[in-house]
Chain A
Amino acid sequence: MSTGEVAIRIRSVGHQFGEAGEARHVRALADTSLDIVRGELLCLIGPSGCGKSTLLNVIGGLLAPTSGTVEVAGKPVHGPMPHDIAYIFQENALLPWNTVDENVRLGMLFQGVPKAEHAARAQRSLEAVGLAEFADHYPAQLSGGMRQRAALARALSLQTGILLMDEPFGALDEQTRMILGEDLSVLLARTEKTIVFVTHSLGEAAFLADRVAVFSARPGTVKKIIRIDEPHPRNPAFVTSEKFTTLRNELYALLHDEIRKAVGSEAPRGRRGANGGAP
């Protein structure tokens, strides 16, 4: 990653759900500004409810922020930009009544890719994620990890410059996550995509990201940005290196206070502070 041009420009974005004074009123995101550079993988990490997913939805145009602006490739975001941005969700968002191949093709149909290109592009993206043999399977016939691979294939086939991933491996078990993370790193080394990746796994963030944006507790904003200079594809051995451990510990220290704050604000009053020390 070089200090290239800015792909996503976030300027004082804030968001609240509901109106002030209402029971359901929540200030999810407070005045956040951030530049995301072309070709980098930026991880958003923070305590649950800190607004990292909200920010992702704002970037993707799925949510209009209460304040601030987002620019993608120099254009202000006012709604989904299917030609610039592809999405991968935490939940399985494949259409259950279509096969994997049909799901990939439907994505291209929605985006407006000419029919003639569908077959080749679907084939290529399914091969890239290692699912070519399962093209004719229905999502229900696949494991959770394979379903997320299929979702990744669908996003890749759209050939967007930006990939937004909202805790894509959140529902998977630890081992599947690890393998998918390694494969993703290999895949990304080959493409020039800008990726914003929301996670709450410290290891995942440290392993995948070029930069990690650590969020504060709600209303969330970027507390600190940590740079990770390690070329992609990252070697599995990176996980056991001292550099990785140091990074992970640094992230842990940054996050810990915020998580305490987030949990403490939910816990009964008497308990707060009583176990505020280190575990």
Chain B
Amino acid sequence: MARRREAMERLASRAVQIGFLLALLASWYAATNFWGVNHLLLPNPVAVFHQLVDVLKTGQFLPDLRVTATEFAAAFVLAMTSGMLVGCFVSRSRYWVAVFEPLFAGIYSIPIILLLPLYVLFFGLGPASKIALGTTISFFPVVLSTIAGFGHVDRTLVTAARSMGASDYQLFRYVLVPAALPVILTGLRIGFTVALLAILGSETIASLAGLGHHIVQLAESMEMARMFAYIAFVVAITVLLNGLVSHLEARGRRHE
């Protein structure tokens, strides 16, 4: 009985979700087709769909995607390595944690996007300024989570390993890293997400190429349907990537 009721409720909430999305789509369609909403503000969903198919078929997105992907990969790899290295180094002593952790946390609470104009001035409109911003923004969650991860390793585990004669390396490799990993993985996921945001954001605000830049260009030439298609494309990619990363994170902390 109870289990059937649960299954029914799950089905009902799925129905509500799908109904909600369908209603959204239907009112979009109705607004553009029957209610006379200006197509320059809101393009027809069918037109958007055709544009999306066209974008995908012609592969026109490839050069911009390559730029964005390269910038993002560079920024994330830089932030990941520097964040984890600095985090490892700082967390070797409680004292350095007390010195630096509040500093990093304090800077992280300021909207780092503000650095973009400075980076543009310094590195120009090309990929360098995007990479710099992406690295800066995603450095902080990585370093903070690394410090937190190593800081919260159960002392009993360390004592136990020492009592069995573990060397420094063995302690690090078999106790500290696995114990800190779940927290660090969360930091990496957040770093991944914010780096992506930073790259797309800086491409939108000031750039010469990339997916964000392309969307702005379409907006300026008022090619609304194609712009919506591009937005849908970018959103789909990022949602997929974020889902993938969350999945990897969940796998990494399976034992919890």
A and B touch in the complex (CB under 8 A): yes
Residues on B lying within 8 angstroms of A by beta carbon are 1-3
A residues near B2, Cβ cutoff 8 Å: 18-19, 22, 24
B233 to chain A, nearest CB (A): 46
Q: Is A23 an interface residue (CB 8 A)?
A: yes
User: Could you show 5 A-B contacts with beta carbons less than 8 Å apart?
Assistant: A19-B2, A22-B1, A22-B3, A23-B3, A24-B2
Residue of A nearest to B3 (CB): A22
Q: Which of A11-49 contact B (CB under 8 A)?
A: 18-19, 22-24
Interchain CA distance A23-B4 in the complex, whole Å: 12
B residues near A24, Cβ cutoff 8 Å: 2
B1 to chain A, nearest CB (A): 5
Q: Told that A18-B2, A19-B1, A22-B2 touch, could you supply 5 new A-B pairs with CB distance under 8 A?
A: A19-B2, A22-B1, A22-B3, A23-B3, A24-B2
A residues near B3, Cβ cutoff 8 Å: 22-23
B165 to chain A, nearest CB (A): 33
Residue of B nearest to A24 (CB): B2
Residue of B nearest to A18 (CB): B2
A residues near B1, Cβ cutoff 8 Å: 19, 22
Interchain CA distance A31-B90 in the complex, whole Å: 64
Interchain CA distance A18-B3 in the complex, whole Å: 10
Interchain CA distance A23-B3 in the complex, whole Å: 9
A142 to chain B, nearest CB (A): 25
B residues near A19, Cβ cutoff 8 Å: 1-2
Closest 8 CB pairs of A and B: A19-B1, A18-B2, A22-B2, A22-B3, A22-B1, A24-B2, A23-B3, A19-B2
B residues near A22, Cβ cutoff 8 Å: 1-3
B137 to chain A, nearest CB (A): 36
